[in-house]
Amino acid sequence: MIEFDPEKDRLNIDKHGISLARASELEVMGFARQKRGSEPRSRLYGQIDGHWYCLIYTLRDYAIRAISLRRAHEDEVSRYVKKEH
């Protein structure tokens, strides 16, 4: 289950042009841990509609709490996604 704050979703749409609700469509192909802040966060890399995206999230209870969804940079894809993709 993916959850998110509606205000955070509005900000994500304004900044990145995509709703956090679309995180459930991410075809995951890569993973990385993120070392910032007090709450452990991770990144998932994958495709939505044939484009590479990065989902930054944390785990809360039994849900994935989406924090940001944005287009992934080429260097991230080459670093965190296996070559066969």
> Hey, where are the domains in the chain?
2-80
CA separation for the pair 8, 38 (Å, rounded): 18
CA 7 vs. chain centroid, Å, equals: 17
Amino acid at 8: K
- Which residues have CB under 8 Å from 59's CB, separation 6+? 40, 65
The predicted pLDDT at position 11 comes to 98
CATH fourth-level superfamily of 2-80: Ribonuclease toxin, BrnT, of type II toxin-antitoxin system (3.10.450.530)
pLDDT at 85 over 50: no
51 pLDDT more than 60: yes
Tell me the whole-structure pTM to 2 decimals: 0.89
pLDDT per position as a tens digit, 11-44: 999 999 999 999 999 999 999 998 777 788 999 9
Give 61's pLDDT tier (boundaries 50, 70, 90). confident
